[in-house]
A and B are shown apart, each in its own frame.
Chain A
Amino acid sequence: MRNWWKALAIILLVYTVIAGFLIEVPKQVILYESIRNLYFHVPMWFTMILLFLLSTIQSVKNLSSGSIASDQKAIEYVNTGIIFGALGIITGSIWAKYTWGAWWTNDVKLNGSAITMLIYLAYIILRNSMDDEQKRARISAVYNIFAFVMLIVFIGILPRMTDSLHPGNGGNPGFNNYDLDNKMKLVFYPAVFGWILLGLWIASIRIRISKIKEQIES
Chain B
Amino acid sequence: MRIIITIALFLLSMLSMAQDLEMAEKMRSEGKIYVVVAVLTVILIGLLIYLINIDKKVGKLEKELKK
Contact = CB atoms under 8 A, between A and B. Distances in A.
A202 B51 contact: yes
A205 B36 CA distance: 30
A31 B45 CA distance: 28
A209 interface: yes
B61 A212 contact: yes
B17 interface: no
B18 interface: no
Contacts of A202: 51
A21 B37 contact: yes
Contact of A212 (B48, B54, B58): B58
Interface in A180-217: 201-202, 205, 208-209, 211-212, 215-216
Interface residues of A, number: 22
Contacts of A216: 65
B20 interface: yes
A18 interface: yes
Interface string B11-47: 0000000001101100000000110110011001100
A94 interface: no
A18 B65 CA distance: 41
Interface in A139-157: none
Contact of B41 (A6, A14, A209): A14
B33 A22 contact: yes
A216 B20 CA distance: 65
A17 interface: yes
25 contacts: A6-B52, A10-B45, A10-B48, A13-B44, A13-B48, A14-B44, A17-B40, A17-B41, A21-B33, A21-B36, A21-B37, A21-B40, A22-B37, A27-B20, A27-B21, A27-B23, A29-B21, A32-B23, A33-B24, A205-B51, A205-B55, A208-B58, A209-B58, A212-B61, A212-B62
> Which 7 interchain pairs have the tightest Cβ spacing?
A27-B21, A21-B37, A17-B40, A208-B58, A33-B24, A212-B61, A10-B48
